[in-house]
Chains A and B, each alone.
Chain A
Amino acid sequence: MTPALELDAISKVYPLAEEDFYALREVSFDVPVGEYVALMGPSGSGKSTLMNLIGLLDTPTEGRALLAGQDAGDLDPEEQAAMRNRHVGFVFQSFHLLPRLSVRENVEVPLTYAGYRPGVRRRRALEVLERVGLGDRVDHRPSQLSGGQRQRVAIARALAMNPSLLLADEPTGNLDSETGLEILALFDELHAQGATIVMVTHEPDVAERCERVLRLRDGRLESDSAGRAAPVVA
């Protein structure tokens, strides 16, 4: 079947005065539907650049990135935004909730841009908030929630559109270790229920929970190995 994500020799080049700087150099890998992948690497390795390319926030200089079999490279910014809306669910390290909106309204944001009517948005938002265990906090403001609860809101928001790919950037980076473990447990559950997840992390014990660990160094894919949670191949 079509992988959730296919990267075909993508490079990201920033032209500098002296010589071009390769943030990424010919990185290729696939992520099949339902896989749970950790993306590791020291800072400056190209992790963030790669994440932005996968999330269609940026476009590669060379190569192709396919989300659910679709190439975003040929699309104009409007179509790219629509594709991001449909296929990518972001979970950021610093949550990135909109402070003026209630929890439910925050979750409704991607549904709004997809064109759902208010009734559908509300029902869907309540459904995913229930799913992440925040059914009783829907009318709170983000500022009234703990860090762990805020990250749950962000996860609910990422799930709202049932995206092809959940893209989590250090989702436990701003949380204490106990809360962090709860969030990771939630990701494990989502994975068990079929979600495709790419998680950027620099913590080895976080990466160990994944099926597969990709390591980047100096813009190149250094290694691609099975994690502890990898299914045993018969």
Chain B
Amino acid sequence: MTRAATLGAADADPAGDDAAASVADWFALEEPTGTTDTRAIVGIAWRSIRGNASRSLLTALGVIIGVAAVVALTAVGAGVTQNVTSNLERLGTNLLTIGATVTRSSTGIVRTESSAGITVGDAELLRSLQWVDGRILGIAPSVTSNLQVRAGGLNTTAQVLGTWPDYAPIRDLEVGAGAWWTDVDVESRARVAVLGHEIAQELFPGMDPLGQSLTVGTHTFTVVGVLPDKGAGFGSPNRQIIVPLSTYLQRLARSQVAGGTSAQSVNQIFVRATEAGHLSALQTDVMLLLANERGEFDLEALGFQVQNQADTLESLTAVSRTLTLFLGAIAGISLLVGGIGIMNIMLVSVTERTREIGIRKALGARPADIRLQFLVEAVVLAAGGGLLGLAVGAAGARFVSPMLGVTSALTVAPMAVAFGVALFVGVVFGLYPAQRAARLDPVASLRHE
């Protein structure tokens, strides 16, 4: 309207008519929209970022690291969870585990009773139940410890596990070569062993381990079977040496208990049901049987519990979820620090570019235009840093985690959250410098060198 008024007034002035007309001729400008072209402002911000590429990268580095950390750590956390879950599921759903009471406090921290108080006698009692109860497929107590083992000149640490022959069908552990030892071996306390895949390769590289000898502590065992590769991860038998329970208790147990074998304590007893449908009832019956044996019906005071697979799965996933959340929170803090880094550099940038701001204001930039320019710059830095961080985190999870011996699983949710937080951080920490720039006094800014 003002332009029209000016030109109209000029036209109405007879003296200035010719001159004004000639101005209007070369300045035949249509009415402007009056609102700044936002895309142009985004362009200005983008050029400033590209013009200072190395500095921009350094500015965004904090966000890159933050997002990468969130992505990589949650991926590793999710991987561990998946691993645990699939390992447990591989055991079958119709499994009961009698073991030390595991309590979880409200913070998710797990406590295990130091002594389970379950013995070989309990396992024998359950075996007698098996003879009359068709719901039970197999019973296997287990006791483990990490021991030094030697074969030839080689020497390593393995988890030595003493159990009954039922352990094989219960845990689905068919031997790849040789044969499982049997009840006869348990009876005779034979020094025979079935080796996990990795241990077999380590102690007998390039040769057939079957029939070879290996020394556990001071006792020599003969290898009768080797398990196939069951993969790494929680509960994997790859680094186990499985021996008859009786042999273990006589030769390898740390302490001998008066009262014979039946009084020896074990870590766990596995009970496998014929089908999953029997599991709940069986769980109750086993619990009652063992409680009755002790004359102790306060289940809390028993010191052990009978867990079915679903319970175990639930408590383990809860633990790893908490762990993942912790890792994510720590990584989130680094993201916050990254945001502060952006704010720092943006404040420096506003000071450095005071003259540019002054010039733009003299040419008609509104405070809102300047604010938008610097805000877009901060957000683009944060978003770019976020995208790079996603890539770095994903690459890190994929390539580095196998080196560390853990699996990882990239999931969309934490990636989306990390990127969202990065954007949010960009806006929040970009606002203050942008506001400072918008409020600069144009006269002082123009004088600024």
Q: Which residues of A contact B (CB under 8 A)?
A: 1-2, 4, 33-34, 52, 55, 57-58, 68-70, 77-78, 81-88, 90, 92, 96-98, 100, 109-118, 120, 124, 127-128, 131, 157, 159, 161-162, 164, 192-195
Tell me whether A194 and B20 are in contact (CB under 8 A). Answer: yes
CA distance A92 to B26 in the complex (A): 23
B361 at the interface (CB under 8 A from A): yes
Instruction: Identify which of B9, B24, B358 gathers the most chain A CB atoms within 10 Å of its CB.
Output: B9
Among B68-76, B152-160, B289-297, B365-373, the one that faces the other chain is B365-373
- Total residues of chain B contacting the partner, CB 8 A: 47
Could you say which of A116, A117, A128, A164 contacts B6, with CB atoms under 8 Å apart?
A164
Tell me whether B446 and A34 are in contact (CB under 8 A). Answer: no
CA distance A192 to B18 in the complex (A): 10
Tell me whether B9 and A112 are in contact (CB under 8 A). Answer: no
Tell me whether B29 and A124 are in contact (CB under 8 A). Answer: yes
The 6 closest A-B pairs by CB, nearest first: A85-B364, A115-B33, A194-B19, A162-B27, A114-B32, A194-B23
- The contact sample of 23 A-B pairs, CB cut-off 8 A, is A1-B9, A1-B10, A33-B13, A34-B16, A52-B443, A55-B362, A57-B446, A77-B367, A78-B368, A81-B365, A85-B364, A98-B359, A109-B359, A109-B363, A113-B360, A115-B34, A116-B32, A116-B33, A131-B26, A164-B2, A193-B19, A194-B19, A195-B23
Tell me whether B367 and A81 are in contact (CB under 8 A). Answer: yes
Could you say which of B2, B21, B37, B362 contacts A68, with CB atoms under 8 Å apart?
B2
B22 at the interface (CB under 8 A from A): yes
**Residues of B contacting A82 in the complex (Cβ-Cβ under 8 angstroms):** 34, 364, 366
Tell me whether B5 and A113 are in contact (CB under 8 A). Answer: no
CA distance A2 to B9 in the complex (A): 7
CA distance A2 to B368 in the complex (A): 31
Tell me whether A194 and B22 are in contact (CB under 8 A). Answer: yes
Looking at the assembled complex, report how far the CB atom of B122 sits from the nearest CB atom of chain A, in whole angstroms.
81
Known: A34-B16, A86-B364, A113-B366. A194 touches B359 (CB 8 A): no
Could you say which of A33, A84, A110 contacts B10, with CB atoms under 8 Å apart?
A33
**Residues of B contacting A118 in the complex (Cβ-Cβ under 8 angstroms):** 37, 40
**Residues of A contacting B12 in the complex (Cβ-Cβ under 8 angstroms):** 1
**Residues of B contacting A131 in the complex (Cβ-Cβ under 8 angstroms):** 26
B92 at the interface (CB under 8 A from A): no
**Residues of A contacting B364 in the complex (Cβ-Cβ under 8 angstroms):** 81-82, 84-86, 88, 110, 113-114, 161
**Residues of B contacting A117 in the complex (Cβ-Cβ under 8 angstroms):** 37
CB interface residues, B 191-216, toward A, < 8 Å = none
CA distance A193 to B21 in the complex (A): 8
CA distance A55 to B37 in the complex (A): 23
CB interface residues, B 1-59, toward A, < 8 Å = 2-3, 5-6, 9-10, 12-13, 16, 19-24, 26-27, 29-30, 32-37, 40-41, 47-48, 51
**Residues of B contacting A192 in the complex (Cβ-Cβ under 8 angstroms):** 19
Tell me whether B19 and A34 are in contact (CB under 8 A). Answer: yes
**Residues of A contacting B166 in the complex (Cβ-Cβ under 8 angstroms):** none
Instruction: Identify which of B13, B356, B364, B366 gathers the most chain A CB atoms within 10 Å of its CB.
Output: B364
Tell me whether B37 and A115 are in contact (CB under 8 A). Answer: yes
B442 at the interface (CB under 8 A from A): yes
Tell me whether A96 and B2 are in contact (CB under 8 A). Answer: no
CA distance A111 to B35 in the complex (A): 11
CA distance A119 to B3 in the complex (A): 21
Known: A34-B20, A55-B362. A112 touches B443 (CB 8 A): no
Tell me whether A86 and B37 are in contact (CB under 8 A). Answer: no
Could you say which of A1, A58, A77, A98 contacts B13, with CB atoms under 8 Å apart?
A1
Q: Give the residue name and chain of the A residue nearest to B17 (CB).
A: A194
Looking at the assembled complex, report how far the CB atom of B198 sits from the nearest CB atom of chain A, in whole angstroms.
61
**Residues of B contacting A96 in the complex (Cβ-Cβ under 8 angstroms):** 355, 358-359, 362, 446
Looking at the assembled complex, report how far the CB atom of A23 sits from the nearest CB atom of chain B, in whole angstroms.
12
Q: Give the residue name and chain of the A residue nearest to B369 (CB).
A: A113
Q: Give the residue name and chain of the A residue nearest to B7 (CB).
A: A162
Instruction: Identify which of B5, B6, B12, B51 gathers the most chain A CB atoms within 10 Å of its CB.
Output: B6
Tell me whether B23 and A127 are in contact (CB under 8 A). Answer: no
Tell me whether A58 and B9 are in contact (CB under 8 A). Answer: no
Q: Give the residue name and chain of the B residue nearest to A3 (CB).
A: B9
Tell me whether A100 and B47 are in contact (CB under 8 A). Answer: yes
Known: A78-B368, A100-B47, A114-B32. A109 touches B360 (CB 8 A): yes
**Residues of A contacting B36 in the complex (Cβ-Cβ under 8 angstroms):** 112-115
Could you say which of B6, B41, B356 contacts A98, with CB atoms under 8 Å apart?
B356
Could you say which of B19, B32, B443 contacts A57, with CB atoms under 8 Å apart?
B443
Could you say which of B3, B24, B355, B442 contacts A86, with CB atoms under 8 Å apart?
B3
Q: Give the residue name and chain of the B residue nearest to A80 (CB).
A: B366
**Residues of B contacting A109 in the complex (Cβ-Cβ under 8 angstroms):** 359-360, 363
CA distance A70 to B3 in the complex (A): 12
Known: A77-B367, A118-B40. A193 touches B23 (CB 8 A): yes
Looking at the assembled complex, report how far the CB atom of B440 sits from the nearest CB atom of chain A, in whole angstroms.
11
**Residues of A contacting B356 in the complex (Cβ-Cβ under 8 angstroms):** 98
Tell me whether B34 and A57 are in contact (CB under 8 A). Answer: no
Known: A85-B363, A96-B359. A114 touches B34 (CB 8 A): yes
Q: Give the residue name and chain of the A residue nearest to B41 (CB).
A: A112
Tell me whether A115 and B363 are in contact (CB under 8 A). Answer: no
CA distance A78 to B372 in the complex (A): 13
Looking at the assembled complex, report how far the CB atom of B185 sits from the nearest CB atom of chain A, in whole angstroms.
83
16 additional A-B pairs beyond A113-B363, A164-B2, beta carbons within 8 Å, are A1-B10, A57-B361, A57-B443, A78-B368, A82-B34, A87-B2, A98-B359, A100-B51, A109-B359, A111-B32, A114-B36, A114-B364, A115-B32, A118-B37, A159-B27, A194-B19
CA distance A118 to B39 in the complex (A): 10
Looking at the assembled complex, report how far the CB atom of A177 sits from the nearest CB atom of chain B, in whole angstroms.
26
**Residues of B contacting A127 in the complex (Cβ-Cβ under 8 angstroms):** 26
Tell me whether B40 and A112 are in contact (CB under 8 A). Answer: yes
Interface bits B301-326 vs A (CB < 8 Å: 1, else 0): 00000000000000000000000000
Tell me whether B20 and A69 are in contact (CB under 8 A). Answer: no
CA distance A4 to B23 in the complex (A): 15
Tell me whether B6 and A33 are in contact (CB under 8 A). Answer: yes
Q: Give the residue name and chain of the A residue nearest to B449 (CB).
A: A94
**Residues of A contacting B26 in the complex (Cβ-Cβ under 8 angstroms):** 127-128, 131, 193
